[in-house]
Amino acid sequence: MGPSRILVVEDNPLNRRLAVDVLRVVGYEVAEAEGAPQARVWLASSLPDLIVLDVSLPGTDGITLLGQLRADLRTRAIPIVATTALAMKTDRERILRAGFDAYLAKPFSPRVLRQVVGDLLQGRANPTGAPHG
């Protein structure tokens, strides 16, 4: 079996590049989309092992796209990590309640992104990226 495949959906080119580069460096195969329409096109022909999804996308936002993915039998079980600049406690709770598997507040450190992605791909829950101790 090859490297895990990850789809990064992020409209900000700098944030998208950071996430893609951090994940590629550790050996993941990474695809990228700048919004929900591009993500849906990619998902129509390929399924990732995990999705990193910006909550605040223009047009169809990340929570709406998450709902569409959870309603689809093909994509329902894919772990999805929310990334967002919304960092209030109520935002985090709302995002996790929406059905995301984990939450990362921007700016996030490369170490935390790698930790959360690795944990989810290994079947361990780590909704906020807290290090294991």
Sequence ranges of the domains in the chain: 5-121
Question: What does the alpha-carbon distance between residue 116 and residue 26 come to, in Å, rounded to a whole number?
Answer: 13
Instruction: Note if the pTM is more than 0.85.
Output: yes
pLDDT per position in the chain (133 positions), as tens?
Answer: 678 999 999 999 999 999 999 999 999 999 999 999 999 999 999 999 999 999 999 999 999 999 999 999 999 999 999 998 876 677 778 888 899 999 898 888 999 999 999 999 998 765 555 544 3
CB 99 within 8 A of CB 77: no
Select 5-121's CATH number: 3.30.1330.10, 3.40.980.10, 3.40.50.2300, 3.30.479.30. 3.40.50.2300
> Which residue, 2, 3, 7, 22, is CA-closest to 79?
7
